[in-house]
């Protein structure tokens, strides 16, 4: 089962099951209702309407107040290729945050921000928390994961490198495409190994495996839960393999007109196009016009 967020006629966000052929969606619940009891809704038959996919707008099924926590430097080869290669590996994961407003969906166009030479790709997997976690053990934390999605942590490197804090470069508009959620039971344990690939215009630029992860999903969620409570609908982005663009010689970054794909075994393929910064201004004008 693949779970998506939809909106009908600019209405509220709903959570739906995507058909196998991608041609229709079956409504499960409203967004707030779904995350109040995701296990219940996923175990039940869809009670809402079945609609053609062409009749709805796809949006991330993410609560506005959800936390999007990201692991940096989680694949050893990625650590070795970048600007952190001379640092000793920490006992604890490097964590940074994204805002939900930076997220988008499969098929969306992603703009290159002003002043950037391009965007860098970071193909990875995101885990969706389905239960409240407080001082959890790694086993409890892993059991609380309700599903996984393909994710692309598209990064504005110039902004990221301006300071020691990464938040600016990791929150460019629409820079976090997230694919449909696949149930955890269908994906299995990431420690057993899933292939993670990224392609740019059809050329493979990343080809890793989740067995290379330094910090596991259960351990990381448990670590976070010692400090703040994790709630249903929170997300954990698990880091990217080696092969990012800024570490190449010469540097290679995504340009308007490029297409970037991330494919993960058992979870699916996420595909997005890159557009110029003028798309951000056009979107802002559209929003302002709608509010008048």
- Spatial separation of the C-alpha atoms in residues 263 and 150, rounded to whole Å: 7
Range from 80-84, 171-175, 200-204 carrying the lowest mean pLDDT: 80-84
Give the percent of the chain with pLDDT over 70: 93
| pLDDT of 289 over the 90 cut | no
| pLDDT of 58 over the 70 cut | yes
Q: What is the pLDDT of residue 145?
A: 98
Range from 72-86, 87-101, 134-148 carrying the lowest mean pLDDT: 72-86
- Spatial separation of the C-alpha atoms in residues 82 and 11, rounded to whole Å: 43
Q: What is the pLDDT of residues 234-250, one digit of tens each?
A: 999 999 999 999 999 99
| pLDDT of 209 over the 60 cut | yes
Q: Check: pTM over 0.75? Answer yes or no.
A: yes
- 């196009």: which residue's tokens? 273
User: 174-207 burial, b for 16+ CB within 10 Å, e for fewer?
Assistant: bbbbbbbbbbbeebeebeeebebbbbbeeeebbe
Give the percent of the chain with pLDDT over 90: 86
How confident is the model over 152-176, as a mean pLDDT? 96
Q: What is the pLDDT of residue 77?
A: 77
| pLDDT of 258 over the 80 cut | yes
| pLDDT of 169 over the 70 cut | yes
Q: What is the pLDDT of residue 287?
A: 38
| pLDDT of 186 over the 70 cut | yes
| Average pLDDT value for the chain | 93
For residue 39, the cross-strand partners are none
**290 falls in which pLDDT band (50, 70, 90)?**
very low
| pLDDT of 202 over the 90 cut | yes
Q: What is the pLDDT of residue 86?
A: 63
Of 8 and 84, more confident = 8
Pick from 32, 29, 26: nearest CA to 41: 29
**44 falls in which pLDDT band (50, 70, 90)?**
confident
| pLDDT of 47 over the 90 cut | no
CA dihedral 126, 130, 134, 137 (to 10 degrees): -70
Q: What is the pLDDT of residue 292?
A: 43
Task: Give all domains of the chain, ordered by start, each with its CATH number.
Answer: 2-59 (no CATH), 68-291 (3.90.850.10)
Q: What is the pLDDT of residue 208?
A: 96
C-alpha 233 chain-centroid distance: 13
């Amino acid at each position: 089962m693949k779970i998506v967020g939809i909106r009908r006629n600019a209405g509220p966000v709903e959570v739906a099951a995507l058909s196998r052929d991608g041609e229709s969606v079956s409504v499960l619940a409203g967004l707030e209702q779904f995350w109040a009891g995701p296990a219940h809704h996923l175990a039940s038959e869809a009670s809402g309407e079945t609609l053609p996919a062409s009749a709805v707008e796809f949006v991330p099924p993410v609560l506005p107040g959800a936390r999007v926590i990201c692991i940096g430097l989680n694949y050893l080869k990625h650590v070795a290729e970048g600007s952190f290669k001379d640092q000793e590996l920490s006992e604890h994961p490097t964590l940074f945050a994204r805002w939900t407003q930076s997220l988008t969906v499969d098929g969306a166009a992603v703009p290159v921000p002003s002043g950037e030479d391009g965007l860098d790709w970071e193909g990875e997997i995101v885990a969706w928390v389905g239960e409240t976690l407080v001082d959890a053990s790694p086993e409890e934390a892993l059991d609380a994961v309700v599903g996984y999605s393909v994710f692309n942590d598209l990064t504005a490197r110039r902004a990221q490198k301006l300071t020691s804090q990464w938040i600016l470069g990791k929150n460019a508009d629409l820079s976090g495409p997230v694919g449909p959620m696949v149930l955890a039971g269908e994906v299995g344990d990431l420690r057993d190994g899933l292939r993670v690939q990224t392609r740019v215009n059809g050329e493979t630029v990343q080809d890793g495996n989740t067995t290379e992860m330094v910090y596991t999903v259960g351990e990381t969620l448990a670590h976070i839960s010692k400090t703040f409570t994790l709630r249903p609908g929170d997300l954990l982005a698990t880091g990217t393999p080696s092969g990012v663009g800024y570490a190449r010689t010469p540097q290679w970054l995504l340009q308007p007109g490029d297409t970037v794909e991330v494919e993960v075994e058992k979870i699916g393929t996420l595909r997005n196009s890159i557009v110029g910064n003028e798309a951000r201004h056009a979107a802002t004008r559209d929003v302002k016009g709608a509010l008048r």
